[in-house]
Amino acid sequence: QGKQLFVQLESILESVPVDEYCFMLNPEMLPGNEVDESLREFYFLSGTKLAISFKTVVYLCNYLRATFNPQVSLAKEDWKLVNTCSKMMVMCNADNETAWNLRKSVIVANHITCQDERRFTSLVFSKYPKKEGTWAHRRWVLAQLLKQENSCADLLSLYKEESRVVEVAVEQYPRAYYSWKYRAFIFREFSKKNPEIQSEIIEFELAATKKWMKSHVRDYSNLVFRQEVLTAQAQRLGEAAWSLWETEMTENLEMILFYTGHESLWNFRRFLFHAQFSLRKERTSDYATMITSELSSVSDIFSQKVMEKSHEQKNSAFNYLIWVAHVLKKEGNDISEFIPILEDA
Amino acid sequence: VDIFLVQPVFWMSSTDRLPFDKELHKKYVHSLDIEKPDRFEYWVTEHLRVSGIYWGFVAMSMMNALDEMDLEKATAFALSCQKDGGGFGGHVAHDAHIVTTFNALQVLAMAGNLDKVDPEGVANWIKGLQNEDGSFSGDQWGEIDTRFVFCAFGALSLLKCLHYVDVKKAVKWLLTCKNFDEAFGVVPEAESHAGQTFCCVGALAMVNALHLIDQDMLAWWLAERQVTNGGLNGRPEKLADVCYSWWVLSSLAALKRLDWIDREALIDFILKCQDLEDGGISDKPGNTRDVYHTCFGCTGLSLLGYEGMAPVDFRFCLPQSVVDKLQLPEQPILTLD
């Protein structure tokens, strides 16, 4: 049984540009199955969409364990077999880093290209969008790709594609930590090593994270990535960085007042405050104005009688103010203005 | 610090508290001790088999029932995971990795069989994974993660071989992973995460370097992980999950600020995550149990002083009795030049 299922999957992967797959209990229940009738309880195929039954995974894994000896095949340089078997192993279990490592040998041997592997990891992401092992492997593949001399005429396009891969993955699993780790990796890798496209990458990500923020208000991972992008932008702007932070603070306050009680927005504000706090010695009067403005905005929130999620909003505002006071006190700054407001609250 | 935050929490009174069904949970852990290659679950967890044994053993230890496990069989399994280079994989068919290496040593420590390993072989393999900047890779392929520093320090501490690596450089790198909120991410400038924070705090605790961070601010961030149902989350605006009862709590224990969270509320939450029909603990009330959450639910209860649980070492996540027996050398206060 295992052998038959192996041969069938091998054939599908070789002849069909599958771009999405999943597991299910009973693929035979789905109409429009292009697979031979005798195999419909194991596989469902329609166009580029593939479903594999859970029991198929068990048969395949047992068959591979019984017949595929990685060390022997590597030694014989049987790249076709290593490629096929390792593909199936990671499709079944994307956490199988040992199988991903087998694929690195296939790539190093030039049996498949880095571009092939980008496509394949995107396929695996359709089923397993947040696996650390897959993202680590893709990072290795990208690093290999970038090392190649003729790697990519258009680095900016490549960057945008990679960024989009992360977006697609976190649409399925918001906050997926290793997906965001990968986005930060590509941001650093591309923007820092290619100054000629740095400003375009920064603009691209400022726009992307702002758009995402408006439809995923509670997604703090997005805001943390935005923090990194803003920091890079501030470095580019030098003297003019203050107005960048001012604008962000203003927009953040608008969001906070509209989307009440969201910890993510308030935590983002802490970052913005911290960024301005770091510039207090260079911009003394702007900084003083900011502090006065902050105290005023936050006390307004405390004095509001009724609003949606009132308790969460006031709690967040209170926590924010205490946090700010602690930061100031730690650096020996005066916090006497804060006390009456905190006491009232 | 004159003013610090105490997060208000809404919770049920203790009269509604569920009991901890020790016998049922022990039965659950025992039921895992069977190889089932005819099951889907088997194949998607094989790469973590040694870690599964570690979690099961810790859970049983917390319930004072480690002696019910087949320690010799586990020892043989853990040893079978070792590769020629010195590191351990999660299973004989899986490559060596620093995380599974640490887990394998933790299993051997609990089985009382750490001496069956040649410490030099393992220590040299781990040493080979330290990078120029002080960080550690998980394996030869180079992925970097603060968890790997924790695993490196943990494994080397158990083997009494910390001196094989550049501890100061590793600590310096760890501190670059500290964010403006004083919590830690997976690499520099990554999102603060309670799991990564535990790894960094644990690592710093192992080498006596906790004085190098702002403990109040970090404890604050950790305390903010407690949500209205009493449970702890890993990051802002995420749902509570039982495993964070360990990651957050052990960090607070290391910082000697366990009282910064509402302990009764957290105990209630963990107890609600029990599967009181089939045993085991799950990540959230009503979800499917697994050995990982069973382990950390038990260690969380232990740290909270819940009656009947054995003491746990907050640095190594091992039973205190096991760590005491190893008689690990005390580390001098670490200073950075």
User: For chain A, what percent of residues have pLDDT higher than 70?
Assistant: 98
Does position A148 have pLDDT exceeding 90, yes or no?
Answer: no
pLDDT in tens, A32-66: 999 999 999 999 999 999 999 999 999 999 999 99
Residue type, A261: G
* pLDDT, position B3: 46
* pLDDT, position B210: 98
Does position B11 have pLDDT exceeding 60, yes or no?
Answer: no
Read out DSSP for B179-230?
-TTS-B-SSTTPPP-HHHHHHHHHHHHHTT-GGGS-HHHHHHHHHTTB-TTS
Burial bucket for residue B218 (CB in 10 Å: 0-12, 13-18, 19+): buried
**Under the phi-then-psi rule, with left for phi > 0, alpha for psi from -120 to 50, and beta for the rest, what region is A32?**
left
* pLDDT, position B312: 98
Residues in chain A with CB shorter than 8 Å from the CB of B224 are 319
Q: Which of A111, A98, A110, A108 is nearest to A71 (CA)?
A: A98
Q: Which helix (H) or strand (E) holds A183?
A: helix A177-193
pLDDT in tens, B103-148: 999 999 999 999 999 999 999 999 999 999 999 999 999 999 999 9
Q: Which of B16, B100, B336, B44 is nearest to B207 (CA)?
A: B336
pLDDT in tens, B160-183: 999 999 999 999 999 999 999 999
Q: Does A136 touch chain B (CB under 8 A)?
A: yes
Residues in chain B with CB shorter than 8 Å from the CB of A61 are 37, 43
Local confidence band at A292 (pLDDT 50, 70, 90 cut-offs): very high
Local confidence band at B99 (pLDDT 50, 70, 90 cut-offs): very high
* Structure tokens, A90: 């990671």
* pLDDT, position A150: 61
Residues in chain A with CB shorter than 8 Å from the CB of B189 are 184, 228, 231
Which residues have CB under 8 Å from A194's CB, separation 6+?
A155
Residues in chain B with CB shorter than 8 Å from the CB of A322 are 3-5
Per DSSP, what are the bridge partners of residue A45? A50
For residue A55, the distance in angstroms to the closest alpha carbon of chain B comes to 7
Mean pLDDT throughout A330-344?
85
For residue A141, the distance in angstroms to the closest alpha carbon of chain B comes to 11
User: For chain A, what percent of residues have pLDDT higher than 90?
Assistant: 85
For residue A61, the distance in angstroms to the closest alpha carbon of chain B comes to 7
Q: Is the sign of the CA dihedral B49, B54, B55, B60 positive or negative? A: positive
Q: Rounded to an integer, what distance in angstroms lies between the CA atom of residue B167 and that of residue B207?
A: 8
Does position A282 have pLDDT exceeding 70, yes or no?
Answer: yes
Q: Which ipTM did the prediction report?
A: 0.94
Mean pLDDT throughout B19-26?
98
Burial bucket for residue B30 (CB in 10 Å: 0-12, 13-18, 19+): middle
Question: What are residue B178's phi and psi, to 5 degrees?
Answer: -85, 135
Report the relative pairing of strands A43-46 and A49-53 from DSSP bridges.
Answer: antiparallel
Residues in chain A with CB shorter than 8 Å from the CB of B180 are 270-271, 274
Q: Answer whether A57's CB lies under 8 Å from B40's CB.
A: yes
Local confidence band at A79 (pLDDT 50, 70, 90 cut-offs): very high
Local confidence band at B2 (pLDDT 50, 70, 90 cut-offs): very low
pLDDT in tens, B243-255: 998 999 999 999 9
Q: Does A104 touch chain B (CB under 8 A)?
A: yes
Q: Does A140 touch chain B (CB under 8 A)?
A: yes
Task: Please give the biggest Cα pair distance in chain A.
Answer: 79
CB contact under 8 A, B8 and A262: no
pLDDT in tens, A230-263: 999 999 999 899 999 999 999 999 999 999 989 9
Instruction: Share the mean pLDDT of chain A.
Output: 94
